[in-house]
Structure 1
Amino acid sequence: MLVTDSDEVLLEVESGVAVVTLNAPDRRNALTPAMATELIATFDEVDGRSDVGALVITAVGKSFCAGGDIATLTSAGQDPAAPAAYEGMGTIYDSFYRLGQVRVPTVAAVRGSAVGAGMNMLLAADLRIVASNARLLCGFLKRGLHPGGGHFVILSRLIGREAAAAMALFGEEINGTRAAQLGLAWEAVDDEMVESRARELAGRVAADPDLARTAVGNFRKEVVNGAVGWDVAMQYERPAQMWSMRRSAGTP
């Protein structure tokens, strides 16, 4: 088992599963540019390891992620076009976008609250396991902010137009049980079961890292990044399936 600790992001690798943990509980894991930079570097590290076949993202403390750090947002609001402010906000956007580009299947293990950019972080994963009592809210308009980071797109592709409007425009808050009902999460479980269930699912696909990387790449092309037609999907999948068949037969 490999464990790597930085200030606000922890990385553990065991049995092919990388577990990335947000570790800033004092501010409810709200994202700063520095923390976002650590996250991006950690995802880069995961992608550089051929033995990793899945990733779980989780958090320490009572919140999964409270969004963008208030001090960062306030500072950026003074002059959003200032180079430092613009770059800092861009780094926060890049952190959850980078999660969506990790080369292995990803699972968000969500306990406590997820707000704003924290919602974007869990939405960027391929699958979500949430605590039944989790608090999920977009929260942008409540703060007087327009949603950012492609929030409308990544939310609506999971729960549809009506539910996305209710949450993103009208400020509806949901718990984990409702999230599973809407299709925002695969499963809602007791708080203490969230991470173990996420690790269990990740461990299945991580057993074959090469296949996991190939399969999730095509899954995202066909389903996530704008659904494609059946005929196009067949063309995406055929070479990958033939490769997997050849490999299973032991042909180099």
Structure 2
Amino acid sequence: MTEVRYEVTEGIATITLAAPERRNALSVEMSRELMDAARTAESDAGVGAVVVTGGEHFCAGAVRSVLTETGKDPVEDTAYRDLETVYAAFTTIGSIDVPTIAAVRGAAVGAGLNLALSTDLRVVSRSARFLPGFAQIGIHPGGGHLHLLHRVAGREATAAMGLFGEEVDGTSAVDLGIAWSAHEDADVEDAARAVAARAAADPDLARRVLRSFRRETAPGGLAWDAAVEVEHSPQMWSLRRKHGA
């Protein structure tokens, strides 16, 4: 990998976007490497949590050339597939069978905001910037952006950000439910790893809880009685593991 770094420590896989010269804007190559790293973490039974970070600059969206080439001929095969690959970077992160946390410093813009929102939890710097950015460059949101916003922030914040292009800082993101906690810049990655460590301590249990979590909190949710059934089997597994012969 040349644009993404991957390392595992104590059950936590850290995926770092590593193209600071363009503020980690998602190229096709970076998107492919991001997917590869996510699948590598998923295939490692010893990984109980994934932290996605971009260091000083989380992710400035998709590189403009991908959007430009798609705009020239939206149905041309290569351009169409390149944009799909960028989408797949965050849809893959959002669907792997491992709990995920975004550690966000700097700006998360457009597709970069989608990447942050695709994770199960966000730990951010107080000065982080969350902005859709689509309207500012005259295009419609993409990648399920409005859906991702709505599932964490609700209709009002989705309208403010998705319709009207409002920007949110890290402290406000916590207030709105977009992020879990906000910290000084230098403390963000350590804070994210501290949260991740609880899941990483028991990867098998973390993955089973994750499946129930995603089923029960999917848009539309589940009735309480259905949620009881969803949780019943994995809880029985955990009880037998803990107390069985």
Tell me the distance in 2 between the aligned counterparts of 1:102 and 1:206.
15
Tell me the distance in 1 between the aligned counterparts of 2:188 and 2:22.
21
The yes-or-no answer on 1:160 pairing with 2:154 is: yes
Partner of 2:28: 33
CA distances 1:96-132 after superposition (whole Å, capped 9, x unpaired): 0000112111110000001000000000110100100
Partner of 1:237: 231
Tell me the distance in 1 between the aligned counterparts of 2:67 and 2:19.
17
Partner of 1:170: 164
Partner of 1:214: 208
The question of whether the paired residues in 1 share the 8 Å contact of 2:12 and 2:47 is answered with: yes
Say how many residue pairs are matched: 245
Gaps of 5+ in 1: 1-5
Equivalent AA in structure 2 for residue 43 of structure 1: A
Tell me the distance in 1 between the aligned counterparts of 2:228 and 2:137.
44
Alignment of 1:61-210 (within 5 A): 62-210=56-204
The yes-or-no answer on 1:49 pairing with 2:44 is: yes
* TM-score, structure 1 normalization: 0.95
The yes-or-no answer on 1:9 pairing with 2:4 is: yes
Query: Bigger CA drift: 9-18 or 68-77?
Result: 68-77
Question: Stretches of 4+ moved more than 4 A in 1?
Answer: none
The question of whether the paired residues in 1 share the 8 Å contact of 2:25 and 2:63 is answered with: yes
Gaps of 5+ in 2: none
Tell me the distance in 2 between the aligned counterparts of 1:18 and 1:190.
22
SS in 2 for 1:63: coil
Equivalent AA in structure 2 for residue 40 of structure 1: M
CA distances 1:42-100 after superposition (whole Å, capped 9, x unpaired): 1111111011000000013x320000101221122111110000000001101100001
Tell me the distance in 2 between the aligned counterparts of 1:206 and 1:46.
12
Equivalent AA in structure 2 for residue 129 of structure 1: V
Equivalent AA in structure 2 for residue 32 of structure 1: S
> Offset at 1:250?
3.7
What percentage of residue pairs aligned between the two structures are identical?
A: 49
Tell me the distance in 1 between the aligned counterparts of 2:94 and 2:211.
11
Q: RMSD over aligned Cα, in angstroms?
A: 0.9
Partner of 1:3: none
